[in-house]
Every structure is written in C-alpha cells, then in structure tokens.
Amino acid sequence: MFLFRLNKFLTYKMFSRHKRGHGIHSPFLYDLIRSVFRNKTETHVVLMVERIRKRNRNDKRWIKIEDIGSGSLSMAGKIRRVSDISKYSSVPKKYGILLSNLAMAFGKETILELGTSLGISTLYLALGSRESTVHTIEGCEAVGEIAGRNFLYAGVENIVQHFGSFDDLLPEIIKSGINPSLVFIDGNHRREAVLRYVGLLADYVDEETVIVLDDIYLSPGMASAWEEIKRRVDVTLTIDIYRMGLIFFRKSLGKLDVVVRY
C-alpha cells in the first residue's frame, strides 16, 4: 500500500500545475484557485482549531472504537489513544484551511460532513461559514463525544452532530429536506461505499453543490472510485490536489479534469 501511495504522490508532483492559476482558460477555475486555494483563512480561526488539535495530541486517554466503515490503515485494534486518533485521523492544518475557505465560498445555508472524528475538519468548516449549519455524521460515539467537547471549548454553535452509519443516516438526511451546498466525505474509505454516497448525493443536490472527497489515493479502491466519479456524466469539473478531490456539477463549466498543485 505504501508503494502504491508513493507512486501516486510522485505522479501528482510530476503532472500537477496551475498552482497560482496561471495557464487556466476557465474563468471559474482561475477565480477558484486565486480566491479559495490561495486565500488566507482568518488567523484567529486557525489558532483556535490548532490549539484544540494540540490538546487532542496531548490526550493520552484510551477509548473504545467502533469502526462502522473500513477502519484505519494506520491504527489497529479497538482500543486507541486519543492522541493517536488526532495524529492519524484529523485533517492536516493545510487542508483544514482549504476546507474553511471552501465553506466561506460555497457553504451557504447548509454543509454536510461524513466523518466527524475529533471534529478538527468540522471546526474549520463551521468557522469558515458561521452563517451555515454544519451537519456532521460520526459512527463512533466515543470519538464523537470528544468532538462535541471540542466544539464547546471553541464556542461554536452552528454544528449539529449525528451518530450512526452513513448508510443509515444519509438517506434520512436527504429525506428530511436538508440540502447541502458543500459536502465533505471523510469516512468509510471503501470503493463501493464512496461511489454509493456520491451517487446518492448527486441524485439529490443541485448543480451548485460542491463535494470534497478526502483520501482519494489512500488505496487502489479509493483511486478506482475517484476515476469512476470523474467519468460520471453529471460531473463537469473535478480538481485533484492529491489528498482530496473536488467534484462540481455545474453544467456551464463543460467537462474538465485538472490536477492542481496545492
């Protein structure tokens, strides 16, 4: 698996471009890179979230994990330290800042997150768009409870937590009429599951919705899912930044797949 990811990373480094938007003919994509990818998040937001990350990194408590999805490739066993979960499962600062900027640009009224973990990505999303309500789903209540305490510590009130499997709760959220304008999928990294979630959302959301898929090269299965998503007829623009893949449905964009250096 390590060699697979290394090969994908080297390929990404070799073929990624447009770091600052140069050479792009699409006005939408050029503006996205300049105003979202290259934009700075408010300093106090980053300081707050990273302070909470540090608290979690120093938390040596052991908790029991219920892995409903594919489980972790980095951590084995059902009993894990909070510090290890923070180290291996929380989105890195660099990509948390991007999520915050994406929330600011596309969050609107509702954001949906599949995979809360300790809530680092959730906080970046919620603080990036304070007017939005962030609905976040987590399969493990023990982890979700720590995330909830992190939200209280940060004083963030625009987050609604849901506990259970994505397969059970995602259809319920869809039926309830919640229509997210930004979706972050970071859990159950199985090919079939990811394709199922993207398919459910693509049939439900409007063309303004943006889906962000984490860990697109975590495994051959995830890479295969990413390639199949790119081939969907309703997907018009995909952006590959190696760690994440961004999916757009806007008909005005035409069909375009780009690899952007981030």
Q: Which two tokens stand for residue 188?
A: 């159950």
22, part of any domain: yes
Q: Grade residue 24 by pLDDT with cuts at 50, 70 and 90.
A: confident
Instruction: Give the model confidence (pLDDT) of 37-51 as tens digits.
Output: 998 899 999 999 999
Task: State the total domains in the chain.
Answer: 1
Residue 79 domain-assigned (yes or no): no
Does residue 245 fall inside a structural domain? yes
pLDDT of residue 74: 52
Question: In the structure encoding, which two tokens stand for residue 197, read together?
Answer: 């979630």
| pTM for this predicted structure | 0.94
Give percent of the chain with pLDDT exceeding 70: 96
Whether the pLDDT of residue 75 is over 80: the answer is no
Give the pLDDT of residue 77.
64
Residue 84 located in a structural domain: no
d(CA 204, CA 199): 9
CB 169 within 8 A of CB 137: yes
User: Three-state SS string across the chain, please?
Assistant: CHHHHHHHHHHHHHHCECCCCCCCCCHHHHHHHHHHHCCCCCHHHHHHHHHHHHHHHCCCCEEECCCCCCCCCCCCCCEEEHHHHHHHHCCCHHHHHHHHHHHHHHCCCEEEEECCCCCHHHHHHHHHCCCCEEEEEECCHHHHHHHHHHHHHHCCCCEEEEECCHHHHHHHHHHCCCCCCEEEECCCCCHHHHHHHHHHHHCCCCCCCEEEEECCCCCHHHHHHHHHHHHCCCCCEEEECCCEEEEECCHHHCCEEEEECC
Tell me the chain's radius of gyration from C-alpha atoms: 17
- pLDDT class for 25, splitting at 50, 70, 90? confident
pLDDT on residue 146:
98
**CATH code for the domain of 16:** 3.40.50.150
In a domain, 52, yes or no: no
pLDDT at 220 over 80: yes
Q: Which domain holds residue 199?
A: 2-47+90-259
What average pLDDT does this structure show over 19-35? 88
Nearest to 83 by CA among 117, 53, 66, 59: 59
- The answer to whether residue 69 sits within a structural domain is no
Match 């199922």 to its residue by tokens.
196
User: Looking at per-residue confidence, does 20 or 129 come out higher?
Assistant: 129
Residue 207 lies in a domain: yes
Give the model's pLDDT for residue 254.
Answer: 86
Please check whether residue 249 lies inside any domain of the structure. yes
Question: For residue 182, what pLDDT is reported?
Answer: 98
Q: Which residues pair with 245 in a beta bridge?
A: 213, 240
Residue 196 near residue 69, CB atoms below 8 Å: no
Res 68 pLDDT > 80: no
53 has a pLDDT exceeding 70: yes
Structure tokens at 63: 């908790």
Q: What is the pLDDT of residue 47?
A: 97
Distances (CA, A) of 77 to 65, 85, 116, 142, 234: 8, 12, 20, 15, 40
pLDDT beyond 80 at 69: no
162 contacts 135 by C-beta, under 8 angstroms: yes
Instruction: Count Cα neighbours of 76 within 13 Å in the Cβ-side half-sphere.
Output: 0
Mean pLDDT computed over every residue of the chain: 93
CB 195 within 8 A of CB 229: yes
Q: What is the mean pLDDT of residues 207-232?
A: 97
What's the pLDDT at 202?
95
Average pLDDT over residues 51-55: 98
Specify the pLDDT at position 19.
83
pLDDT level of residue 224 (50, 70, 90 thresholds) = very high
The pLDDT-based confidence of 23 (bands split at 50, 70, 90) is confident
